[in-house]
Each structure stands twice: as C-alpha cells, then as structure tokens.
Amino acid sequence: MKKSLDTIVFTSFILVFSGVLAIGGASLLMVQRMMDKTNSIAEESRDVDFINHLHNKAYSLITAIHLRMIHGEDKNPVRTFQLSNEIDHDIDEYLKAEKDSPYPESKEEIRLLTSLRDNLQSLRLASQNTQRPQGLDPMAYILMDKMMDQYIQDVAAEARQINRIHFGIITSKVEKNRQSMSLVIYLYLLFSLTGLVLVYLGYRLHSHYVVKPILALAASTQRLAHGDMDIRVSSDSKTEIGQLYQAFNSMAERLQSHQEDLVTFNRELERKVQARTQELEAANGKLLRLEKMAMLGQIATSVNHEIRTPLNTLSMNLQLIKKALGGCGESHTTTCRARQGNLLDRMALIDSEVLRVSGMLEEFVSYARLKPPEPTELELNKVLGYVAEMLTEKAEQAHVALRLSLIEPSPPLWADKNKLIQVLVNLCVNAIQAMPDGGTLTVATTQREDWVEITVADTGTGITEEDLSKIFLPFFTKKPSGLGFGLAIVQRIIEDHGGKITCQSRIGEGTLFTVQLPLRP
C-alpha cells in the first residue's frame, strides 16, 4: 500500500495539535474556575468586613443604650435612632442577598443574623420598659451591667460564628483553588514530558525513515558520480523515499547503458580526432608560414609606400641642386645668388625629409624590437607629477589646462619607469593634439583591490566609432606624418606589464583612455 510522508506528517501534526487544544482547553477551564472561586473569596471577604462593621455598630448601639439606662445620658438621641435603623436595614438587605445563596452554610448564617437582630430588638424594648434606678441602689446597677454585658457577649458570639462560616467558605475555596492549580501544574508537567517523548520519537522515526535513507542515497549518488555504474540501492519504504530509490536505480541503469555507448563513441571519436589533428597540424604549419609571410609583406609594402615618397622628393631635389650648381659655377651674379638661396631652401627640405624618414624607421624598429619591461617599485604619483611637469609648457602653448586627480597615499607600483613614462607622454601628447582650440586634459588615478587604474581624458574632437576599433593597430593613423605605431606601442607596453588599455570616445565631446595595471607583476 502506497503511503505519503506528507499524509503521515500532517496526521501527526493534527493529533499533536488536537492534544494541545484539549490540554489547553482544560487548563483554561480550570483557570476560569479558579478565577470564579477567587471572586467568591473576594465576596466572602466583603461579607466578613460587613459583619465586623455590623458588630461595631451593634456595640455602639448597646453602649449608647447602656449610658442612657444607667446614667440617664443620651448626648445624641438622633444618632442612636439612626444607628438602630441602619442596623435593621443592613441586616434586612444582607438576609435578602443570602436567601439566594447556593451555599448550605447560608441557612446557619441567616439564623445567626436573625438571632442578632432579635437580641438587639429585645435590648431596645428592655431599655424602653426599664426605669433608671433611683438613689444609690447598687444592686440595680449591677443587674443592668450584667444584662448589658450579656447582650454584648451574645452579639459578639453571633458575629464570630457568622465570620467562622465565611472563613470556612474562604478556606474551602482556597483549598479548591490550590487543588486546581496543582492539577494545572500536573497537566503542564505531563504535557511537557509527553512533548519530549513525542519529539524524541519523532526524531528517531524521522532519522530512521527519512534522514538515513536520504544519506544512503546521497552516498550512492556520489559513487555513481565517480563512475561506479554498478551501484544500486534497495528500500522497503512505501513512501516517496521508496519511489526515489526506484528512480535512482532506473537512472543508474540508463546511465550505465549510456556509458557503454559513450565509451564506444569516444573511441571512434578519438580515432577520428587524432587523424584530423594530424591533418590540422600539417595545415597549421603551412598557415603560420603563410601568415608570417603575409604580415612581412604588409609591413614591407607599408614601409615601401611611406619611404618611397620622401626618397623620390630627395632624388628630384638632388637633381635640381646638381643642375643649379652646374649652371652657376663660380659666378657671383644676382642670378647665382638667387640660385644659391633656392638651393638652401631645397637643402632644408631635404634635411626635413631625411629626418622624417629616420623617424619612421626608428618607430618601426621600436615596435619590431620592443624590449620586455624591467619593473621596479615606483611611486605612481611622482611619475605622474614628472610627466605633468614635462608637458606643462606644451599644454600652455596649446591653451590646454592640465589637471591631476591622484589618490593619496600613492600606491606602490611595480613597473618599468621609462616605459610607463613613454605610455603617459604618448597618451597626453595625443590628447593635447586632439584639442586644437584648447580644452582640458585630466589625468586621474584610482585603486581597485590589486589593480591601479589611470585615466587620461580630454575635451577634444573625439574619435569616430569606425576608427575606434582600429586605433591600436599598427600603421593606422590620421596624422599626416608617422607610421601609426604610437598607440600600438602603448598597448604592447601595457600588455607586457600584465595590464590592459581601453578607449571610449564621442565626436565633439572628447576621448577617455583607461589604463589598468596590476600593483605587482
């Protein structure tokens, strides 16, 4: 028969919750009864106070009657009359309340109160019919004193008996409250012990029927993951655990079948890959040779194109110089002097072109034979300050404001000082040249964990999106002179340091170069 862990857990929860409700309801009912008894105790305490107050009034009334009968003094007859009426009224009201009382002691209390009232009434009648003794008859005074003492003792005795009844009721209710409290405590202890037992049983059952099977399944899954395809699990559980075990066994069987197919496929694939690899290696060798040849051809073509023009210019100007020198000879006429002046101009042009060709060749050789960096520990802010000082005059001439925003303290950086200066100078000079009408050049640094970031931002003309992807390529330049190796050399220096350089630009807004270098190589 199939079972469900959800059903078992839900049923157990309902049973436990029902038990909690039952015990809680019983406890609340007993607490309510305890509160009712407490209220009854309060009412009995008020009754005791009433009897004591009534006893005090009766004592005051007896004393007043005693003084009037013995000494003929009644200083406040109106108060005596009111006191008598108050006692009768209080007793009548109390008797009306006690007639509806559920306690059997109420009958005895009613009898005692009735007797108390009768004694007071007989006292009042006796005081009205008894004449004050004449003269100094001592026996009359003694008899009256004894009579008054007897009334006082009777009233006090009846009040004590009534209070004993109330005290007995209070004691009984207190005892019942104590018993109820004990029962509540016993129920609490019983429920606590039962809860502990249920928790322990639930833990053992959960551990035996849920946790251990899952742990065993997890261990089998790990073995299956490590390649043991023969692993199988068994369980007699009719719950979801048993279904999980069956699903695992089914999965293991399918994986074992797929593994056998995969081994066969891998063998065939390995054979084909080896054959294909040998073909690719042979083709790759040819491709590398062709690629190197193509690159060398591209470089040779570019160098030939760049150098041919100034060499042609040199050749033509040299021919003109030869003609001018040959026609003038040693003559110092005006025409000869003019030709000599023209010769000086052409020689200056030749010198300029020679220097330009030399610069191109030097730039080409620098890129082709760039030495690896020799890093030393540098203080980055000092290097940037040196570069800024070097470029201050050039920036002022171009009406460019040079600003530094450097982090403090300066992070120690391992880099090749000369190459780092070459990178910064190249970027800053390019930025100044990109602002022909002046602007602002900002150099800033930030530190991000183990990296330092240097940004060079200008407010120049910007770079088009098409050219932005080509600026780091050799031979790419928009300048009328040069081979376009400047940014290519910058990128190579940065990458040789284990860093990277990126560029962001918008036409008419400016350009931002970001250099990221590791603090340590």
Q: Mention every residue, 6+ apart, whose C-beta is less than 8 A from residue 310.
A: 353, 354, 356, 357
120-to-36, 75, 126, 160, 368 alpha-carbon distances in Å: 36, 20, 10, 16, 138
116-to-90, 121, 126, 158, 305 alpha-carbon distances in Å: 12, 9, 15, 7, 144
φ/ψ of residue 500, rounded to 5 = -155, 155
How far separated are the first and last CA of the chain, in Å rounded?
69
Name the residue type at position 117: R
Q: What is the pLDDT of residue 274?
A: 86
**Closest alpha carbon to 160 in 106, 109, 102:** 109
Dig out the tokens for 160 from the structure.
């004590």
Looking at residue 129, what DSSP letter applies? Answer: H
Name the residue type at position 429: V
User: What is the full DSSP assignment across 69-98?
Assistant: HHH---S-HHHHHHHHHHHHHHHHHHHHHH
Split the chain (521 residues) into runs of 10 and give each run's mean pLDDT.
64 78 78 77 78 80 71 63 78 76 74 78 66 56 72 79 81 82 83 84 80 82 81 77 80 81 83 84 61 53 62 67 61 62 66 60 56 86 92 92 91 89 92 92 91 94 88 76 75 90 92 92 68
CA dihedral 228, 234, 238, 244 (to 10 degrees): 0
CB 497 within 8 A of CB 518: yes
**Closest alpha carbon to 44 in 117, 88, 92, 106:** 106
Strands (E), 370-509: 376-379, 400-405, 412-415, 439-448, 451-458, 500-506
What gap in Å lies between CA 29 and CA 21, rounded to an integer? 12
Q: Identify the helix (H) or strand (E) that includes residue 166.
A: helix 138-206
CB 307 within 8 A of CB 357: yes
Q: What is the pLDDT of residue 397?
A: 93
450-to-24, 204, 444, 516, 521 alpha-carbon distances in Å: 64, 52, 17, 10, 10
**Closest alpha carbon to 160 in 222, 115, 205:** 115
Q: How many CB atoms lie within 10 A of CB 223?
A: 14
**Closest alpha carbon to 482 in 491, 474, 472:** 474
Q: What is the pLDDT of residue 289?
A: 44
Bond before 409 cis per omega within 30 degrees: yes
Q: Residue 153's beta-bridge partner residues?
A: none
φ/ψ of residue 220, rounded to 5 = -65, -35
What gap in Å lies between CA 367 and CA 345, rounded to an integer? 33
CB 248 within 8 A of CB 229: no
Q: What is the pLDDT of residue 432?
A: 94
Q: What is the pLDDT of residue 296?
A: 44
**Closest alpha carbon to 124 in 87, 99, 159, 98:** 87
φ/ψ of residue 234, rounded to 5 = -135, 145
Length of the chain: 521
CB 357 within 8 A of CB 310: yes
List the Cα angle 322/323/324 in 5-degree steps: 90
Q: Residue 145's beta-bridge partner residues?
A: none
Q: Model-level pTM? A: 0.38
Q: What is the pLDDT of residue 391?
A: 92
What gap in Å lies between CA 245 and CA 405, rounded to an integer? 66
In terms of C-beta distances under 8 Å and separation of at least 24 residues, what long-range contacts does 128-133 make, across chains too? Answer: 130/69, 132/69, 132/70, 132/72
What gap in Å lies between CA 180 and CA 38, rounded to an integer? 12
What gap in Å lies between CA 215 and CA 209, rounded to an integer? 11
Q: What is the pLDDT of residue 465?
A: 87
